[in-house]
Structure 1
Amino acid sequence: MRSLLIAALVIVLLSAHAPSALAAQAKPLIKVMSGYGSTDGGAAILWFAKETKLFEKHGLDVVLVGMGTGSVSLRALIAKDLEIASLSGSGLVQAALQGADTVLISALINGFVFKVFGAPEISSPAQLKGKKLGVSRYGATSDFAVRLALKKWGLNPDRDVNILQIGTSQDAVRAMQTKMLDAGVMSGTSSLIARKAGFRELGDLADLGLHYPTSAVGTTKSYLQKRSMISSAIKKPR
């Protein structure tokens, strides 16, 4: 449900380009590059809207680009390769603090949505010491979250655990199955796949109880200025 809400918000924001379906029929379609990170299920409604021509109904020619991870989406957004993206809110904020013109439109989840799974023989987080643990990318939300969790579990993430960037959480499951990893950070359907494959859940990072804009929709200030109707829709929801 969470992922569907994120995707639905993207659709609403994109649809703000056009005031009505009738007006859209009289104008050329507006091309929009929209990126999404995970393929855990959040992209399903986006593809549904595209394949049923819902975007076209609102005057949009939306190109959906699967980026694999939020950090890759962020770099593409900053480089203007994407115009709107679903990614981590903290990445947008950090980029803005470093001089980028990124802006967070909305954050729907306040907290982490990851779980750490390990090999069956690992029965507690403390046993991750000396083990290889996979995250999507260094600096990504999964990396940031698990480092906080490791500290809470009494481990030094820089010294006690070998944290490796492995790609998507599906990649982490496959790496664990081939013994390339001892543990991995999972989310969405990957958690179900990991559990079904016999891996042990070691911790739910939601239990950290931290305020964190995990599920966010972002764009750039320059894009909002170019497409003023989106800005108006954000300030005055319809």
Structure 2
Amino acid sequence: MEALGEFETVETPLKPLLLLFTRCANPERDCHNGFRAKEIAPMNLRFYSVLTIALLGSLTWSSRAVQAKSYIAYISDSSNSSVVYWIAKEAGIFKKHGLDLDTIFIDGSVRGIQSLIAGDLGYSGAVGTAVINANLAGGDVAIIQSQMNTLPYFIIGNAGIKSPEELRGKTAAVHIPGTSADFAMRLALSKVGIPYKDIKAVTLGGAPQRLVATVNGQTDFTIVSEGEKLQGLKGGLKVIIDMAKLKVPFQFNCSVATRKKIRENPDEVRRVVWALAEAGHFFKTRKDESIKVMQKYTRGLDRGVLEGAYAANYEFLVEDTYPTLEGLKQTLDVQALTDPRAAKAKPEDFVDLRFVDEMKKSGFVDKLYGRK
């Protein structure tokens, strides 16, 4: 699914016209009705006038159907980043909790949060750095639950790089600023005494794109999680820095909502939090079914690669879904070096823990895992 706000619930002859008004996450990609954003732009004003009249005529009966569907964005198609969202949908867990919630892919938590603030989404996956940056810039969003509270990343590169110190001056495939991959790259380089300015950074986006560029020799190294690491090793790359071993507290995969959503619909937010906790339990207790879901969303990755990704996810997945305040504090400390606003902020400013607190008090997670 590429279109934001797609009118999936409106089943009428006007649906193709309605879809022309949806916005593609990437304007160069096809929307689901077959039009491209760049193909729509030249259409003349007369056509739009007719279309507007048709839409207004249908608005009164269609509005409820349009609003019935809500979206939760997953912000990475990596096998290590979004599996809880995929399972919540594919295993029917969202529906079990009374949620008419569909998943949509938006590349990167920065873009995901932008779409959330714009009202295109109900919820978004994210990482702590993006949540902090959004709030410091005036965006009123909060972390409502977490899936991973550390940085499960590896810097991998071509076989000619003999030591981490040799990364200096090399070309790196990186993600956009504000993402966890960007933060992890900067942190890893700082650990070996290399300023970020001393590498040649090429922004390529998600892990699959970064991996392909590095395997093909377009870049010398990149940063990836377990699944892409295994693919890279098969492609002749080597591990240069293993950040997973460091177990650095960091707010990695988490779910975000606007505070407006939390105020106006706390019951729905509560059900989302509980559903995602149950999806995590499904993942940990139903391996084969979970790997099949991973295969679907990673376009049929090799079973061996997914086995490794499953093991890494299993190790790092947070059962009680509490965000890491320690990880958020460390991120704030780093950002405070260049942003005075971060120095005044507290980790608690970026979370709303009421729903995970309620879930803990209810004993729901303990019952899932047979501890009660």
CA deviation after TM superposition for structure 1 residue 174, in Å? 0.7
Please give the residue correspondences for 1:6-25 in structure 2 after superposition, counting only pairs within 5 Å.
none
**153, 172, 193: which is aligned to 2:210?**
172
CA shift for structure 1 position 141 = 1.5
Q: 1:163 matched to which residue of 2?
A: 201
CA contact (8 A) 1:105 1:218 kept: yes
The one of 156, 167, 171 equivalent to 1:128 is 167
Aligned 1:200-219 pairs, distance under 5 A: 200-208=238-246, 210-219=248-257
Q: Which has a greater percent of strand?
A: 1
Q: Could you say if the C-alpha distance between residues 150 and 43 of structure 1 is closer, same or farther in structure 2, counting changes exceeding 3 Å?
A: closer
* 2:105 counterpart letter in structure 1: G
Of 227, 230, 245, which aligns to 1:192? Answer: 230
SS of the residue corresponding to residue 236 of structure 1 reads: helix
Alpha-carbon distance between aligned partners in 2 of 1:87 and 1:133, rounded to the nearest angstrom? 23
One of 98, 101, 119 as aligned partner of 2:137: 98
Normalising by structure 2, we get a TM-score of: 0.52
More helix by share: 2
Per the alignment, in what secondary structure is the counterpart of residue 91 of structure 1? helix
In the alignment of these two chains, the number of paired residues is 210
TM-score normalized with structure 1 length: 0.79
Q: Deviations over 1:63-83 (max 9, x none)?
A: 211112222212222222222
Given candidates 136, 142, 146, the residue that maps to 2:181 is 142
Correspondence for 1:8: none
Q: Which moved more, 1:165-174 or 1:106-115?
A: 106-115
Q: Who is 1:236 aligned against?
A: 358
Q: Is the 8 A contact 1:135 1:165 kept in 2?
A: yes
Would the aligned equivalents of 2:70 and 2:102 in 1 still touch at CA under 8 Å? yes
Map Cα deviations across residues 134-179 of structure 1 (whole Å, 9 max, x no partner): 1221221111221122122121211x10112111111111101222
Offset from partner CA, 1:199-231 (integer Å, 9 cap, x none):
010001234553321121111101111212135
CA RMSD of aligned residues (A): 2.3
Decide whether aligned partners of structure 1 residues 190 and 97 sit closer, same or farther in structure 2, where only a CA change above 3 A counts: same
Shift in alpha-carbon separation, 1:139–1:43, aligned structure 2, 3 A:
closer
Query: Which position in structure 1 is the counterpart of 2:219?
Result: 181
Q: Percent of aligned positions with the same letter in both sequences?
A: 26
Q: Distance in 2 between matches of 1:138 and 1:51?
A: 31
Distance 2:244 2:99 in 1: 36
Instruction: Identify the range of structure 1 (145-154 vs 39-48) with the bigger mean alpha-carbon deviation.
Output: 39-48
The structure-2 alpha-carbon separation of the partners of 1:144 and 1:47, relative to structure 1 and needing over 3 Å to count, comes to: closer
Larger radius of gyration: 2
Aligned residues of 1:146 and 1:205 also touching (Cα < 8 A): no
Q: Secondary structure at the match of 1:194?
A: helix
Partner residue of 2:193 out of 149, 154, 157: 154
Structure 2: distance between partners of 1:109 and 1:84: 17
Q: Which residue of 2 is the match for residue 22 of structure 1? A: none
Following superposition, the deviation at residue 52 of structure 1 comes to 4.7
Decide whether aligned partners of structure 1 residues 173 and 104 sit closer, same or farther in structure 2, where only a CA change above 3 A counts. same
Q: Please give the residue correspondences for 1:21-60 in structure 2 after superposition, counting only pairs within 5 Å.
A: 30-41=68-79, 42-60=81-99
